[in-house]
Amino acid sequence: MSWLVTGGAGYIGSHVVRSLIDAGITPVVIDDLSSGIEAFVPEGVPFLHASILETDAVAAFLAEHGVVGVIHCAGYKYAGESVRFPLVNYKANVDGTRALLEAMEREGVRRLVFSSSAGVYGNTGEPVVTETTPTTPESPYGESKLIGEWLIRDQVVATTMAGAPLAATSLRYFNVVGSGYADIYDASPHNLFPKVFFAIESGKAPQINGTDYPTPDGTCVRDYVHVSDLAAAHVVAAQRLDAGDALEPVYNLGSGSGTSVRQIVDAMVAATGTDKAPVEGPRRPGDPASIVADGTLATRDLAWAMRYSVQEMVDSAWASHPKA
């Protein structure tokens, strides 16, 4: 009996795989390696190099390894790029989730944890979003994650009517940072931490956009969560579904308070030892002053907690970052 992690060779998915192992749960992995790194998959973990769009291959893998549940991390995770390439985004995130659900239905796999996104909320104008905040995504990426949640919701209804209900929950979160292992790092060219690290390595100063927001230090406030905390919450969700416990359809994994851009940049300066002082620039159009997620429900049901300080998040990311 095992749990499948889709996208299990990626930055987030590989942390989930190792958290499953630590919890005594057998993981198996599917990843098309479009952004994942096969070396992130621990030795001995069954690995299928395939796309989740390949329904027959996915179904056969589920059957071969006696999979009882899926943690669905695979996807096109670039909000900005999704505006330029919406069809690529929808194929990976919408068609991919539909195909995965089809393979699960074919093999009778009835447990699913969906790695969603707080991008489903969009720019709400509210400083703190809860699970009841209206969803108004502003990018094809956010839209595709919301559609994924709808697909899962509808499949839960359909399978319940058929007498073999799918037990599922979706986890929404903002910026994932840090590393729990020296050999796993965020390789995305679009994410904040690697972009700033590469800039510092090339001798450039980190930049802060906007210092006159109505926040404690004048810079934007955002939610940053450590990837190990995120992975642990996914595993607890899987364990609770395995136990037959009722979970909410969606949970926020957030701090409830957030971290300012200046705090993040100061921590990066300290971690890297750069002598380049941060450069202050003008606001970027459309940037809200503050937006974070309330994780109260996840704390209640999924043992969710923010276990790392800002400096610890940055230090762990820098320690695993491949140096030039």
The string of pLDDT tens digits covering residues 63-102 is 999 999 999 999 999 888 999 999 999 999 999 999 999 9
| Beta-strand pair 259-260/221-222 | antiparallel
CA gap 116, 196 in Å, rounded: 25
Residue 93, C-beta contacts closer than 8 angstroms, at least 6 positions apart:
75, 76, 141, 144, 145, 147, 148
Name the more confident of 324 and 166.
166
Phi, psi for 147 (deg, rounded to 5): -65, -40
Among 219, 222, 210, 213, smallest CA distance to 128 is for 222
The residues annotated as belonging to the active site are 141
Task: State the CB neighbour count (10 A cutoff) for residue 88.
Answer: 15
- Both tokens of 290, joined, read 């503050």
Instruction: Give Rg (Cα) of the chain.
Output: 19
Judge whether residue 324 has pLDDT over 70: no
pLDDT digits (tens, 9 = 90+) for 193-234: 988 898 889 899 988 989 999 999 999 999 999 999 999 999
Mean pLDDT (whole number) for 234-246: 97
Mean pLDDT (whole number) for 231-242: 98
Judge whether residue 57 has pLDDT over 90: yes
What is the reported pTM? 0.95
Among 74, 66, 69, smallest CA distance to 167 is for 69
Mean pLDDT (whole number) for 34-41: 96
Burial string for 23-52 (b: 16+ CB within 10 Å, else e) reads: eebebbbbbbeebbbeebbbeebbbbebbb
Domains present along the chain, CATH in parentheses = 2-176+224-252 (3.40.50.720), 177-223+255-320 (3.90.25.10)
